[in-house]
Amino acid sequence: MLNQAPLPVLLLPATNTTFRVGQVVAFSGSATDAEDGDLPLTSLQWQVGVRHCPGGVCHTHPLTTTAGATGSIVAPEHGADSYLVVTLTATDSGGRSASVSTDVHPRLVTVTLLSEPAGVHVVFGETRALTPATFQAVVGSHMSVATLSPQQSLSFTGWSSGAAQQHTLLVGDTNIENTARFAPPAGVSYLSDLAWTLAENGAGPVERDRSHGDTPGGDGPPLVVRGVTYAKGLGVRAPSDIRVRVNGACTLFAATLAIDDDVQGGGTIVAGVVVDGRIAFQSPLVDGVTPPIAVSVDLTGVRELRLVVADAGDGNVNDEVDWADARVTCNGPGATVPAAPGAVSALAAGQTAALWWTPVPGASSYRVESGTAHGATDLAVVDVDANSISGMVPLGASWVRVRAGNAWGWSPPSADVRLVVDGTTGAPLAPGDLAATVSGVAVTLTWTPPLTGALPSTYIVEAGLQPDALPQVASTPATTIASAGVPPGTYHVRVRAVTSAGAGPPTSTIVIVVP
Ligand SMILES: [Ca+2]
Ligand SMILES: [Ca+2]
Ligand SMILES: [Ca+2]
């Protein structure tokens, strides 16, 4: 009688199982056989391999082999173009085998690398590309990210994430976007030698180191205004808009503005210099005989410089304008991100939490990151302008940190703060910002409600001459209280909030001197 092949069955991994790097991928199965019945565990053989498909051409790396009904492997770090293949082979007593296998694919996120200006080289893992560039990466993998400097006569000033020029990215569960910022190098750079982020022109391209000429590129005669020839500069025709990223690395823009002698006295324009959306210089009406105008604009802290020329409302016939000697003076990429915020404080009550931290000099905004593990960002990434944030948060424990940001990117993170939200609404939090004004023997106290939780019904004021014995001296439903006749002395004062759940902890104690 013919020996039938056994019938292996995979239970795990389930169909559509995906993995992150480092995740334990379990497998289990069984097999039956027409002649033998249920096959023993010793008849089950497992093979796990990585199927690697660079450029769509695949090969397999064996990872492990094992026998029995179950087993597991730790998902390796092998790139976004690979997946796991789990194969169960059953062999019956007659030596006949059959196999069944399943593919387990990695969970992928998209990593987008941008730059200011676009078109610079970046390296992601082993791949080099020109920005803007997108890559796939496996969740949990460690990817090298880098850019080169200088490029296009520009120097690297920082990644928008605050990371180093070359750094290792731990890929989390969410898509990632990062911008490499470039700026002119230290010293004086002519705009005609730099890469621009945008250049619009009334006819043909903006000309470098020559006048507009006609529509074709590179056709203009030298830059000449009122008989003076300039070796460097930009030749444009209205309407024109040239944008250059200086990313805070520069201090000054200067140029000589006039309609070129090539149009023999014709043309009418107005021109402006716009920095970060603000008009920093605006010309009067300029015609073909207007003397050259010396333009000088402070660029301290400026991210984007724009040179704009309009046709003055009468069309652009002969509106051929020279930004002669257009140049920026820069400090180079010494401009840096702010320092990391110091101690971050956190409080939770009910399902709300509040964070606050000391403002960081030079910071224009802050980024709050929250994750289920030390350093992770899988719960939230929120940007705020103020040095505090509060609101609803999911129940459970999280790790939270704050970065300070400015035009050049984000600081390294603060130390992580452990935040536990258990949903129980206990006593209120302490009031905030307790302050006193003393005028003679009149004392006024003010404070703010707790950052989160139910609004208190009452506040208790505790005060005394000894810092370790502060009895209640007053209560009020308001957030201020005044007393017109306080005996002279040095008082220690604090305030508690009271809700239906009871009295909360006191504010920090302040010291008031009544003369
Ligand atoms: Ca059989
Ligand atoms: Ca031209
Ligand atoms: Ca005009």
pLDDT tens per residue across span 387-412: 888 877 777 788 899 999 876 678 88
Taking the CA atoms of 210, 216, 219 and 221 in sequence, report the sign of the dihedral they define.
negative
Kindly state whether residue 336 falls inside one of the protein's structural domains.
no
At residue 221, the pLDDT reads 97
Kindly state whether residue 81 falls inside one of the protein's structural domains.
yes
User: Which of 63-67, 290-294, 494-498 holds the top average pLDDT?
Assistant: 290-294
Structure tokens at 196: 């621009």
Could you tell me the residue range of the domain that residue 497 belongs to? 432-514
Kindly state whether residue 41 falls inside one of the protein's structural domains.
yes
pLDDT for 182-229, tens place per residue? 989 888 999 999 999 999 999 999 999 999 999 999 999 999 999 999
If you measure from the C-alpha of residue 242 to the centroid of ligand 3, how many angstroms do you get, rounded to a whole number?
A: 18
pLDDT-derived band at 1 (thresholds 50, 70, 90) equals low
Are 14 and 79 found together in one domain?
yes
At a CB cut-off of 8 Å and minimum separation 6, what does 56 contact? Answer: none
Task: Indicate the number of domains in the chain.
Answer: 5
Kindly state whether residue 427 falls inside one of the protein's structural domains.
no
At residue 474, the pLDDT reads 92
At residue 152, the pLDDT reads 85
At residue 300, the pLDDT reads 84
At residue 64, the pLDDT reads 92
**Is pLDDT at 454 greater than 80 in this prediction?**
no
If you measure from the C-alpha of residue 242 to the centroid of ligand 2, how many angstroms do you get, rounded to a whole number?
A: 15
The phi and psi torsions of 195 (rounded to 5 degrees) equal -85, 140
Instruction: Kindly state the percentage of the chain with pLDDT values over 90.
Output: 65
In the chain, the amino acid numbered 496 is: R
Are 482 and 472 found together in one domain?
yes
Are 196 and 326 found together in one domain?
yes
If you measure from the C-alpha of residue 238 to the centroid of ligand 2, how many angstroms do you get, rounded to a whole number?
A: 12
Are 299 and 227 found together in one domain?
yes
- Which ligand is closest to the CA of 208, given by its number? 2
pLDDT-derived band at 425 (thresholds 50, 70, 90) equals low
Are 221 and 321 found together in one domain?
yes
Are 312 and 202 found together in one domain?
yes
Report CA dihedral (183, 187, 191, 195) to the nearest 10 degrees. -30
At which of 183, 203, 219 does a domain end? 183
If you measure from the C-alpha of residue 204 to the centroid of ligand 2, how many angstroms do you get, rounded to a whole number?
A: 6
If you measure from the C-alpha of residue 220 to the centroid of ligand 2, how many angstroms do you get, rounded to a whole number?
A: 5
If you measure from the C-alpha of residue 250 to the centroid of ligand 2, how many angstroms do you get, rounded to a whole number?
A: 29
At residue 390, the pLDDT reads 81
Least confident of 35-49, 94-108, 416-430: 416-430
At residue 395, the pLDDT reads 76
CB 168 within 8 A of CB 144: yes
At which of 161, 183, 205 does a domain end? 183
If you measure from the C-alpha of residue 212 to the centroid of ligand 2, how many angstroms do you get, rounded to a whole number?
A: 4
CATH number at residue 117: 2.60.40
At residue 332, the pLDDT reads 63
Average pLDDT of the chain, as a whole number: 91
- Which ligand is closest to the CA of 91, given by its number? 1
pLDDT for 92-106, tens place per residue? 999 999 999 999 999
Instruction: Kindly state the percentage of the chain with pLDDT values over 70.
Output: 97
At residue 408, the pLDDT reads 67
Kindly state whether residue 248 falls inside one of the protein's structural domains.
yes
Are 207 and 80 found together in one domain?
no
**Is pLDDT at 333 greater than 70 in this prediction?**
no
**Is pLDDT at 312 greater than 80 in this prediction?**
yes
CATH number at residue 198: 2.60.120.1060
**Is pLDDT at 361 greater than 80 in this prediction?**
no
If you measure from the C-alpha of residue 93 to the centroid of ligand 1, how many angstroms do you get, rounded to a whole number?
A: 7
Are 194 and 326 found together in one domain?
yes
CB 86 within 8 A of CB 14: no
If you measure from the C-alpha of residue 90 to the centroid of ligand 1, how many angstroms do you get, rounded to a whole number?
A: 10
CATH number at residue 412: 2.60.40.10
User: Model pTM greater than 0.95?
Assistant: no
| Rounded Cα–Cα distance for residues 67 and 52 (Å) | 24
The backbone region for 459, taken as left when phi is positive above 0, alpha when psi lies in -120 to 50, beta otherwise, is beta
Kindly state whether residue 337 falls inside one of the protein's structural domains.
no
If you measure from the C-alpha of residue 210 to the centroid of ligand 2, how many angstroms do you get, rounded to a whole number?
A: 9
pLDDT-derived band at 275 (thresholds 50, 70, 90) equals very high
pLDDT-derived band at 426 (thresholds 50, 70, 90) equals low
If you measure from the C-alpha of residue 9 to the centroid of ligand 1, how many angstroms do you get, rounded to a whole number?
A: 15
pLDDT for 224-260, tens place per residue? 999 999 999 999 999 999 999 998 888 899 999 999 9
If you measure from the C-alpha of residue 307 to the centroid of ligand 3, how many angstroms do you get, rounded to a whole number?
A: 17
Please give the average per-residue pLDDT across 296-322, as a whole number: 95
Buried b (16+ CB within 10 A) or exposed e, 330-366: bbebebebbebbeebebbbbbbbbbbbbeebebbeeb
Are 113 and 28 found together in one domain?
no
If you measure from the C-alpha of residue 44 to the centroid of ligand 1, how many angstroms do you get, rounded to a whole number?
A: 14
If you measure from the C-alpha of residue 206 to the centroid of ligand 2, how many angstroms do you get, rounded to a whole number?
A: 7
At residue 249, the pLDDT reads 84
At a CB cut-off of 8 Å and minimum separation 6, what does 131 contact? Answer: 113, 114, 115, 118, 119, 120, 121, 122, 180
Are 125 and 71 found together in one domain?
no
Kindly state whether residue 451 falls inside one of the protein's structural domains.
yes
If you measure from the C-alpha of residue 215 to the centroid of ligand 2, how many angstroms do you get, rounded to a whole number?
A: 5
Q: How far apart are the first and last CA of the chain?
A: 113
CB 188 within 8 A of CB 331: no
**Is pLDDT at 179 greater than 90 in this prediction?**
yes
CB 410 within 8 A of CB 339: no
Are 278 and 198 found together in one domain?
yes
At which of 71, 89, 106 does a domain end? 106
Are 124 and 101 found together in one domain?
no
Structure tokens at 16: 């559509």
At residue 407, the pLDDT reads 67
Please give the average per-residue pLDDT across 125-134, as a whole number: 94
Kindly state whether residue 426 falls inside one of the protein's structural domains.
no
